[in-house]
């Protein structure tokens, strides 16, 4: 009996991250955890922008995850000056994926500990997928013919770069600009005129891109590659106001954005909105989290947004981009150079900050202004799961279940505080076994996340 | 003889309480990039520096309240990775009061001077967005309450600054055609409120004359606007105050003849000559001021 209790005491201590055998028994060394990073399913709902900035120089990369007909693709973005052809480049999709993987949240999976003190076989490393990225590009396109008259719009440049037809525009007034855009098959939502007008009065120009179908076919691409622009401007900012017009069209849906900034010194944050660090869970999470780590992470993100308010920017990663597990994506100088890091020769460091937020007009009235701090502390959300032993030679199934229960309760609490899900629901999921799927809408919540009332639960 | 209009408690205690409350809120609720240990470091170094300087300059009394206010303000504002530079910041804040002086007044607001020094060294940063907009009204109440307690002693600087800055920010948005939600959002920044009510209002580093103070406030507002919206740099108010602090001696020299607003009789125990007497809200000047007479 004493021996069993001693074993129990020792092994229950394994349910904390810093596992130490406290009982003084001779126990086998704990096998190291396997690690994987969140795959690209994590960011498939958000638009992706990469900004490389130092001094007055900036390189912006827009990853177009447009999944529809290439004919209907079009983007319009404000730029601080007229852009020449040499300042435009079409990059590779893989470089964006590499960056996303190198800065993704990590999941550590601790192998199961046999409660009967035999070494558990180590769990094979989990797959790190790279799924298809599917978010909509900012700025939809459709047909809209305007009246014909002399429009005070100056086309400052017309180029074909890669598979894109690019034009740089400026205008005397926003009305003419919008008419011109509509005449050229750009679908401009209502309410855009004041936004365009305010950019024009700040002496901004407009960068337009559409797909040149012939070029695309001749190059053999079926997806759209990222567009990159290099320019000089003291402004370090992210113009989001145009993007919000699209959001309003979709019945108030929010726009979601993942921004990577690459700078020389340290972490980047917003100066006109609160920037908050994504927290790491304080304890072990249930094993079934590994079945949908990306889904759980997104739930955690949404929960944090609810708690902190919808007018907050979150940073999910700060570091040098090569802290992933061995064999995963790492940002080598060549990838960095492709992303626009002009100093990537291995001597000056390239500090990467990954920001993530959802925005709408009500909570984000202004364009995001960014600043680089000298904070070079590295941070990355890391979550841990503890695998359960599937069976135990010295215990019955029921005994094993009871033995694991206190640990499960702790894990359920950790997951509940992270995601806002109900701890009892989580316990029920845990009891279903390790192949359970993390639920986004647990049984006692309605699909929009509200608690079900007592009478709804009565007759469900 | 007790002055009937003199507040019973030193108003700096209210300021200390407010700053402490804001720190608790920031660390506990807003997840500032700040630890209690760091706050303790700022306070410790500031008090130690004040003590050392008191001894070196042979002041009659060690007064920790001003140093404590500077340390708490620094905790709210200055972020740095390095313990050494945090300590250096607190040291610069206090030491500059003793070392950088002109005709009996120290030139730089201690917290502002330390922040600007750290920004110039590239070793520290300020996060203007750290407050968000949630606590706007709470802030406003705390700041206005401070004014009440201080009996509007130096509120002319505060109001002149915020009126000028407000006008500039609204004018810009109107001129560009941005919706009014944008300047409102800009003015709701907690950091701006703190600057307006607790930093620029420092009576020890603002001009002596009312007209001088109003001009000074307008210069700082214009400078902040220029830095923020023409040069597109951040922390415009910090830089602007640091730069225009250098003009205060000039303003004082040019507007020497102006009547001061100080109308309250001096408490008998005050050892300082009347011409540079501080307001009750002020940080009492070191006895060094007496050497002028």
pLDDT digits (tens, 9 = 90+) for B155-204: 889 989 999 999 999 999 999 999 999 998 898 888 888 898 888 988 88
pLDDT reading at A130 higher than 70: no
- Is the Cβ–Cβ distance between A59 and A229 less than 8 Å? yes
- A122-146 in b/e burial notation, b at 16+ Cβ within 10 A? eeeebebeeeebebbbbbbbeeeee
Interface test with A, best of B177, B228, B238 (most A CBs within 10 A): B177
SS3 letters across A361-423: CCCCCCCEEEEECCCCCCECCEEEEECCCCCCCCCCHHHHHHHHHHHHHHHHHHHHHHHCCCH
Cβ neighbours of B179 in A, within 8 Å: 194, 365
Distance from CA of A412 to the nearest CA of B (A): 24
- Is the Cβ–Cβ distance between B175 and B33 less than 8 Å? no
Asked if A374's CB is within 8 angstroms of B122's CB, the reply is yes
Virtual CA dihedral for B272, B273, B279, B281, nearest 10 degrees? Answer: -10
The H-or-E segment that residue A11 falls in is helix A2-12
The whole-number average pLDDT for the span B280-285 is 46
What confidence score (pLDDT) does residue A246 get? 60
pLDDT reading at B268 higher than 60: no
What confidence score (pLDDT) does residue A135 get? 31
Ordered DSSP codes for A315-348? EEEEE-S--SPTTS----HHHHHHHT-TTTTTTS
Cα separation, A355 vs A276, whole angstroms: 9
pLDDT reading at A18 higher than 50: no
Residue range B97-155, pLDDT digits in tens: 999 998 888 899 999 999 999 999 999 999 998 988 766 766 776 777 677 666 556 78
Interface of A with B in 376-405 (CB under 8 A): 376-377
Cα separation, B245 vs B220, whole angstroms: 9
pLDDT reading at B38 higher than 70: yes
Cβ neighbours of B176 in A, within 8 Å: 198, 201-202
Cα separation, B90 vs B88, whole angstroms: 5
What confidence score (pLDDT) does residue A369 get? 95
**Residue B7, phi-psi category: left (phi > 0), alpha (psi -120 to 50), beta (remainder):** beta
Please work out, in degrees rounded to the nearest 5, the angle formed at the alpha carbon of residue B138 by the alpha carbons of B137 and B142: 115
Residue A308: which pLDDT band, with cuts at 50, 70 and 90? confident
Distance from CA of B31 to the nearest CA of A (A): 7
Cα separation, A264 vs B217, whole angstroms: 36
- Is the Cβ–Cβ distance between A192 and A160 less than 8 Å? no
Beta pairing, strands A227-232 & A57-63: antiparallel
Higher local confidence (pLDDT), B63 or B10: B63
Cβ neighbours of A232 in B, within 8 Å: none
Distance from CA of A46 to the nearest CA of B (A): 23
Distance from CA of A315 to the nearest CA of B (A): 13
Could you tell me which of A158, A155, A144, A156 has the C-alpha nearest to residue A186? Answer: A144
| Measured CA distances, A404 to A26, A116, A133, B57 (Å) | 21, 13, 38, 68
**Residue B10, phi-psi category: left (phi > 0), alpha (psi -120 to 50), beta (remainder):** beta
Higher local confidence (pLDDT), A68 or A409: A409
Residues 6+ away with beta carbon under 8 Å from A56: A232, A233, A234
Cβ neighbours of B182 in A, within 8 Å: 365-366
> SS3 of A8, please?
helix
**What is the pLDDT of chain A when averaged over all its residues?**
79
Nearest to B127 among A194, A202, A269 (CB): A269
pLDDT reading at A445 higher than 70: no
The whole-number average pLDDT for the span A191-209 is 91
Residues 6+ away with beta carbon under 8 Å from B96: B106, B107, B108, B110, B113, B114
> SS3 of A285, please?
strand
The whole-number average pLDDT for the span B251-276 is 52
What confidence score (pLDDT) does residue B8 get? 60
The whole-number average pLDDT for the span A386-406 is 87
The whole-number average pLDDT for the span A415-425 is 90
- Return the half-sphere exposure (C-beta side, CA atoms, 13 A cut-off) of residue B199: 31
Strand partners, A59: A52, A230
What confidence score (pLDDT) does residue A252 get? 53
Sign, CA torsion B114/B119/B125/B130:
positive
Cβ neighbours of A177 in B, within 8 Å: none
Residues 6+ away with beta carbon under 8 Å from A157: A82, A83, A84, A85, A166, A167, A168
Most confident of A20-34, A142-156, B254-268: A142-156
Residue A132: which pLDDT band, with cuts at 50, 70 and 90? very low
Interface test with B, best of A245, A313, A366 (most B CBs within 10 A): A366
Higher local confidence (pLDDT), B248 or B153: B248
Most confident of A19-23, A109-113, A329-333: A109-113
The whole-number average pLDDT for the span B44-68 is 93
> SS3 of A460, please?
coil
Furthest C-alpha separation in chain A: 94
Residue A31: which pLDDT band, with cuts at 50, 70 and 90? confident
Cα separation, A91 vs A50, whole angstroms: 12
3-state helix, strand, coil in chain A (%, to 5): 30, 25, 45
- Is the Cβ–Cβ distance between A452 and A446 less than 8 Å? yes
pLDDT reading at A32 higher than 50: yes
Could you tell me which of A121, A103, A104 has the C-alpha nearest to residue A112? Answer: A121
- Say whether residue A197 is in contact with chain B using an 8 A CB cutoff: yes
Residue A442: which pLDDT band, with cuts at 50, 70 and 90? low
- DSSP-assigned letter for residue B231: S
Angle between helices B64-77 and B110-121 (to 10 degrees): 40
Residues 6+ away with beta carbon under 8 Å from B1: B268
Cα separation, B281 vs B7, whole angstroms: 10
Residue A363: which pLDDT band, with cuts at 50, 70 and 90? confident
- Say whether residue A198 is in contact with chain B using an 8 A CB cutoff: yes
Interface of A with B in 282-341 (CB under 8 A): 309, 311-312
Nearest to B129 among A235, A237, A269 (CB): A269
Strands lying side by side in the sheet with A74-79:
A74-79, A205-211, A164-171, A153-161
Asked if B177's CB is within 8 angstroms of A375's CB, the reply is no
Structure tokens at B103: 């005709």
Determine which of A203-207, B47-51, B104-108 has the lowest per-residue pLDDT on average.
B104-108
The whole-number average pLDDT for the span A89-98 is 90
Cα separation, A349 vs A376, whole angstroms: 11
Structure tokens at B191: 């950091």
Residue with token string 């009750």: B280
Whole-prediction pTM value?
A: 0.81
What confidence score (pLDDT) does residue A322 get? 63
Cβ neighbours of A309 in B, within 8 Å: 132, 134
Sign, CA torsion A362/A367/A373/A377:
positive
What confidence score (pLDDT) does residue A57 get? 95
Asked if B129's CB is within 8 angstroms of A273's CB, the reply is yes
**Residue A150, phi-psi category: left (phi > 0), alpha (psi -120 to 50), beta (remainder):** beta
Residue with token string 């076994």: A433
């Amino acid at each position: 009996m004493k021996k069993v209790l001693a074993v129990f005491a020792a092994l229950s201590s394994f349910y904390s991250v810093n596992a130490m055998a406290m009982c003084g028994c001779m126990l086998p060394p704990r096998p190291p955890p396997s690690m994987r990073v969140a795959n690209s399913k994590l960011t498939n709902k958000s638009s992706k922008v990469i900004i490389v900035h130092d001094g007055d120089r900036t390189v912006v990369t827009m990853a177009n995850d447009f999944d529809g007909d290439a004919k209907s693709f079009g983007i319009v973005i404000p730029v601080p000056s007229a852009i020449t052809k040499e300042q435009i480049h079409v990059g590779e999709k893989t470089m964006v994926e590499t960056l996303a993987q190198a800065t993704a949240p990590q999941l550590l999976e601790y192998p199961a500990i046999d409660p009967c003190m035999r070494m558990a076989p180590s769990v094979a490393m989990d797959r790190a997928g790279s799924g298809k990225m599917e978010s909509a590009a900012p700025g939809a396109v459709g047909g809209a013919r305007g009246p014909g008259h002399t429009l005070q719009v100056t086309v400052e440049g017309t180029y074909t770069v890669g598979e894109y037809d690019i034009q740089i525009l400026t205008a005397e007034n926003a009305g003419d600009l919008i008419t011109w855009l509509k005449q050229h098959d750009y679908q401009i939502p209502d309410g855009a005129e004041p936004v365009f007008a305010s950019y024009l009065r700040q002496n901004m120009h407009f960068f337009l891109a559409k797909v040149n179908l012939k070029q695309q076919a001749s190059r053999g691409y079926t997806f759209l590659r990222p567009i990159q622009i290099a320019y000089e401007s003291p402004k370090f900012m992210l113009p989001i106001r145009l993007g919000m017009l699209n959001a309003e069209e979709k019945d108030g849906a929010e726009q979601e954005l993942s921004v990577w900034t690459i700078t020389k010194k340290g972490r980047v944050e917003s100066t006109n909105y609160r920037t908050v660090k994504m927290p790491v869970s304080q304890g072990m999470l249930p094993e079934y989290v590994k079945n949908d780590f990306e889904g759980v992470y997104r739930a955690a993100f949404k929960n944090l947004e609810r708690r902190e308010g919808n007018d907050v920017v979150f940073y999910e990663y700060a570091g040098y981009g090569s802290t992933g597990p061995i064999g995963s994506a790492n940002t080598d100088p060549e990838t960095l150079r492709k992303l626009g890091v002009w100093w990537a020769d291995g001597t000056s460091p390239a500090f990467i900050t990954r920001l993530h937020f959802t925005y709408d007009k009500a909570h984000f009235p202004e364009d995001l202004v960014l600043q680089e701090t000298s904070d070079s502390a590295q941070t990355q959300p890391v979550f841990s799961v503890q695998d359960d032993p599937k069976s135990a030679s010295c215990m019955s199934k029921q005994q094993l279940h009871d033995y694991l229960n206190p640990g499960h309760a702790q894990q359920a609490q950790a997951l509940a505080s992270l995601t806002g899900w109900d701890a009892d629901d989580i316990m029920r999921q845990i009891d279903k076994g390790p192949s359970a799927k993390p639920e986004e809408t647990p049984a006692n919540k309605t699909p929009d996340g509200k608690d079900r009332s007592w009478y709804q639960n009565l007759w469900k | 003889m007790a002055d009937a209009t003199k507040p019973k408690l030193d108003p700096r205690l209210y300021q200390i309480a407010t700053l402490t409350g804001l720190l608790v809120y920031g660390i506990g609720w807003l997840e500032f990039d700040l630890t209690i240990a760091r706050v303790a470091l700022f306070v410790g170094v500031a008090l130690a520096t004040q003590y050392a300087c008191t001894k070196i300059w042979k002041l009659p009394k060690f007064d920790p309240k001003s140093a404590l206010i500077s340390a708490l303000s620094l905790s709210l504002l200055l972020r740095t990775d390095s313990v050494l530079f945090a300590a250096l910041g607190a040291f610069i804040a206090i030491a500059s009061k003793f070392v950088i002086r002109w005709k009996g007044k120290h030139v730089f607001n201690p917290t502002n001077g330390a922040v600007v020094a750290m920004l110039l060294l590239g070793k520290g940063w300020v996060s203007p967005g750290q407050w968000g907009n949630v606590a706007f009204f709470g802030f406003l109440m705390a700041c206005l309450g401070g004014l009440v307690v201080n009996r509007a002693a130096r509120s002319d600087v505060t109001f002149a600054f915020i009126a000028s800055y407000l006008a500039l920010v609204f004018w810009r948005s109107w001129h560009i055609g941005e919706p009014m939600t944008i300047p409102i959002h800009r003015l709701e920044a907690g950091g701006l409120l703190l600057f307006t009510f607790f930093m620029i209002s420092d009576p020890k580093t603002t001009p002596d004359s009312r007209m001088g103070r109003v001009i000074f406030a307008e210069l700082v507002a214009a400078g902040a606007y220029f830095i923020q919206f023409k040069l597109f740099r951040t922390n415009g108010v910090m830089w602007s105050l640091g730069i225009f602090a250098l003009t205060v001696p000039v303003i004082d020299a040019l507007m020497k003849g102006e009547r001061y607003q100080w109308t309250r009789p001096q408490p008998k125990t005050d050892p300082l000559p009347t011409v540079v007497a501080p307001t009750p809200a002020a940080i009492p000047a070191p006895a060094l001021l007496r050497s002028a007479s």
